[in-house]
Amino acid sequence: MKWGLGAKPLLFNYIFIKANANDNLIHFMFSILKKELRSFFSSATGYIVIGIFLLLTSLFLWIVPGDYNILDSGYANVDGLFYLAPWLFLFLCPAVTMRFFAEEKQTGTWELIQTKPITKSAIVFGKYLAGWLLVVIALLPSLLYYFSVSYLAEPIGNVDSGAFWGSFIGLFFLAAVYVAIGIFSSSLSNNQIVSFVMAVVLSFFFYYGFDLLSDLFNTGRSIQFIETLGVHAHYKSMSRGVIDSRDLLYFILVSGIFLWGTVFKVSRKQ
């Protein structure tokens, strides 16, 4: 194939314009991310939300007697954290994301953002990354539990590290789904409380609702199929310490569906 005299300059100009547009898109997306992080930690609410999550996990794992208590179990593991965290995430993730769109529509800043030369998908993805990162920040201090148990074990370090890291990575992907649901819920309402409640209900349904639905079926194949539609089955699979590509694909797909729904919703209301 031969190029005309003007073809190469036109091609290079096109490539340059596309690259520049992509750079601007990434720049705007990270501007949204930084804005949300700054806004979250600029008030006491952000610290209170993360503080309550860490306080509850610490109380149940170390102080309150019961099945989750590490010292009462007699075993060197942090399984209690991975049973508790998905249920605490049901409230942590909606609390983080409920204001992302609802507050901006209440205060009128959403109209201002729409005047910026930025796509709706970049806005949504920037907010999504900020929400996911905030949940990860809340989760990272729980690594202290692992190192504490490892030190208390006999002999020192006698901990099932594979199961721990598999479960810990599973929580990152679980947070990805919950945050996507939370942002979608925030785009549906101008009221933060309504957004919070919707996110809690939707997150609960996707985490445990399919397990409840599977009880209505009798055959093993039907039960297994219904359960695999829910988050719980895939999170449980990762908790065994095995990272299966099917589980990763499920988390990415569900997160993507809710993010697409958010982009569609905010674009419709332009």
pLDDT in tens, 132-145: 999 999 999 999 99
pTM for the full model? 0.86
What is the enclosing helix (H) or strand (E) of 130? helix 120-139
Percentage helix, strand, coil for the chain under 3-state DSSP, each rounded to 5: 80, 0, 20
pLDDT at 14 over 50: no
Place of tokens 């049973």: 83
Q: Measuring CA to CA, how many Å separate 251 from each of 73, 84, 198, 231? A: 31, 19, 20, 8
Residue 165 has what pLDDT? Answer: 86
For residue 6, name the pLDDT band (cuts at 50, 70, 90).
low
Q: How many CB atoms lie within 10 A of CB 86?
A: 22
Spatial distance between the Cα atoms of 223 and 230, rounded to a whole number of angstroms: 11
Measured in whole angstroms, how far is the alpha carbon of residue 140 from the centre of its chain?
14
pLDDT at position 19: 42
Per-residue pLDDT at 43: 82
- Work out the average pLDDT over 69-80: 78
Residue 35 reports pLDDT greater than 50: yes
> By the 8 A CB rule, do 251 and 234 touch?
yes
Q: Is the per-residue pLDDT at 22 higher than 90?
A: no
Looking at residue 255, its pLDDT comes to 96
Q: How far apart are CA 118 and CA 129, in angstroms?
A: 16
pLDDT in tens, 79-131: 888 899 999 999 999 999 998 888 777 776 766 776 666 788 888 999 999 99
Question: What are the pLDDT digits (tens) for 138-177?
Answer: 999 999 998 888 887 777 777 778 888 888 999 999 999 9
Q: What is the pLDDT of residue 24?
A: 64
Domain layout of the chain by residue ranges: 7-268
* pLDDT score of 23: 57
Instruction: Give the pLDDT confidence score for residue 16 in this predicted structure.
Output: 39
Q: Identify the pLDDT of residue 8.
A: 47
User: Could you give the CA distance from residue 71 to residue 152 in angstroms, rounded to a whole number?
Assistant: 10
**pLDDT score recorded for residue 4:** 54
* 182/176 Cα distance (integer angstroms): 10
Per-residue pLDDT tens over the stretch 190-234: 889 999 999 999 999 999 998 888 888 777 788 888 888 999 999
